[in-house]
Amino acid sequence: MQLIPVRLKTNPYTIYITDNQISKIPALISGLKIGNFGIIITSPKVYSLYKKTLAAAFDKNHYKVIIVCNGEEAKSQKYFFRVIEKILEQDQLNRKIFIVALGGGTIGDLGGFIAATYKRGIPFVQIPTTLLAQIDASIGGKTAIDMPQAKNIIGAFYQPKAVLIDQSFLKTLPKKEVKQGLAEAIKYAIISKPEFFDFLAKNAKNILSLEKNCLSQLITTCVKAKVKVVEEDENETKGIRTILNFGHTLAHALETALNYRKLSHGEAVALGMIYAADLSALLGKCSNNTAQQIKQIINNFGLPTKISADYRVILKAFTHDKKFISGKIRLVLLKALGEVEVTDGIPIEIIKKSIKSFLQ
């Protein structure tokens, strides 16, 4: 077991990275002393795959499972209130409730937001089961649900009491979902570590087939990279954490404009990173060669490199993004691998033109 501390001033916690230790999770949670009744929020897919394992590990007198839905729809008003209704039924005298978010990033975001808001905040634990959630979404305390007009538009910074990453959950993850996580791994390679970029480029085949050592190295590297940024700028007030949004401005606009259906988050991030790199090259911030290297690695991992979509719809979603402030859009641009800059000084006309040409 590997322990990675998240050294935050008011809410420090530990990330535990394990393999084949799912049965030990309840004991770990017990040791945290965060309550006496756990509400496990999960998706139908995860529940059907791990029903027996969960029943054997979690005592039903101390845990209740609530199943929402697979995918982005879980992050909606409908499921937010549906889960709250169910928690209310369980919230009885002498029960000290806590939340366990067991699933992909959508479950973590929903479960975390419920934990942040129910009774103005109850403890929660993240058990991420997708690669994307293990290396990114479960860490750092961003929780949120969506509105049809904008993604993650209702949310809170709310830290978990622990993150329990067990690599063995990934054995059942379909290849398509593994790739979603790899999009975020490429993001970490671009924003923080050129050596990690080389590692990904060299080991693409082993990573895609979930070779144990490669996977373990990938998870640890991404987790540490995210923890470092979060420790420096927990609530995104210093402009440091913003770099984690590399590729995400266009990504969120694409996801919203396509009703959270046509593209998954990782695919949208892959496209958003290509757009951000191309725009950086167009503005002379990075070389064409660097932008090309990014497109190449995204392609090698089987992620999309182009999309055609209605420009007006995408632009409208762009302007609803949280990063769109008084007519200016905040973008993370690339100078070189491992070197990015946050800017809101790009004229809107250039942004409009570049989006238009990207979508053709």
Ligand X SMILES: NC(=O)c1ccc[n+]([C@@H]2O[C@H](COP(=O)([O-])OP(=O)(O)OC[C@H]3O[C@@H](n4cnc5c(N)ncnc54)[C@H](O)[C@@H]3O)[C@@H](O)[C@H]2O)c1
b/e sequence 160-175, b meaning 16+ C-beta within 10 Å = bbbbbbbbebbeebee
Smallest gap from Cβ 119 to ligand X, in A, equals: 21
Task: Take residue 299 and report the two structure tokens written for it.
Answer: 């392609």
88 dihedral zone (left: phi>0; alpha: psi -120 to 50; beta) = alpha
Catalytic residue among 73, 231, 236, 341: 236
194-202 and 175-191 helices, crossing angle to 10°: 150
Establish whether 236 is a catalytic residue. Answer: yes
Q: Which is nearer to ligand X, 281 or 314 (CB)?
A: 314
Catalytic residue among 142, 187, 193, 285: 142
Q: Which is nearer to ligand X, 26 or 71 (CB)?
A: 71
Which residues sit at the interface with ligand X, rule CB under 6 A? Answer: 43, 45-46, 49, 70-72, 75, 103-107, 109, 129-130, 132-133, 136-137, 140, 142, 169, 172-173, 177, 180, 265-266
Q: Which is nearer to ligand X, 140 or 247 (CB)?
A: 140
Catalytic residue among 72, 177, 184, 255: 184
Establish whether 95 is a catalytic residue. Answer: no
The DSSP bridge pattern shows strands 324-325 and 328-329 to be antiparallel
Which parts of 181-269 are beta strand (E)? none
Q: Which is nearer to ligand X, 133 or 223 (CB)?
A: 133
Rounded Cα distance between 173 and 264, Å, is 15
Smallest gap from Cβ 154 to ligand X, in A, equals: 13
Residue 265: burial class (beta carbons within 10 Å; 0-12, 13-18, 19+): buried
Smallest gap from Cβ 92 to ligand X, in A, equals: 29
Catalytic residue among 75, 245, 285, 330: 245
Q: What type of residue sits at position 260?
A: Y
Cβ contacts of residue 180 below 8 Å, gap of 6+? 130, 131, 132, 264, 265, 266, 267
Q: Which is nearer to ligand X, 71 or 338 (CB)?
A: 71
Catalytic residue among 248, 255, 267, 285: 248
Establish whether 184 is a catalytic residue. Answer: yes
Establish whether 142 is a catalytic residue. Answer: yes
Establish whether 252 is a catalytic residue. Answer: yes
Smallest gap from Cβ 345 to ligand X, in A, equals: 26
Smallest gap from Cβ 141 to ligand X, in A, equals: 8
Smallest gap from Cβ 326 to ligand X, in A, equals: 25
Rounded Cα distance between 273 and 277, Å, is 6
Neighbours of 293 (CB within 10 A): 17
C-alpha 45: how far from chain center: 18
Q: Which is nearer to ligand X, 38 or 108 (CB)?
A: 108
Q: What is the Cα gyration radius of the chain?
A: 20
Establish whether 226 is a catalytic residue. Answer: yes
Q: Which is nearer to ligand X, 128 or 290 (CB)?
A: 128
Smallest gap from Cβ 357 to ligand X, in A, equals: 26
Question: How far from each other are the two terminal CA atoms of the chain, in whole angstroms?
Answer: 48
Catalytic residue among 89, 120, 171, 213: 120
Catalytic residue among 151, 179, 187, 265: 265
Neighbours of 284 (CB within 10 A): 8
Q: What does the chain come to in residues?
A: 360
Residues designated as active site: 120, 142, 184, 226, 236, 241, 245, 248, 252, 265
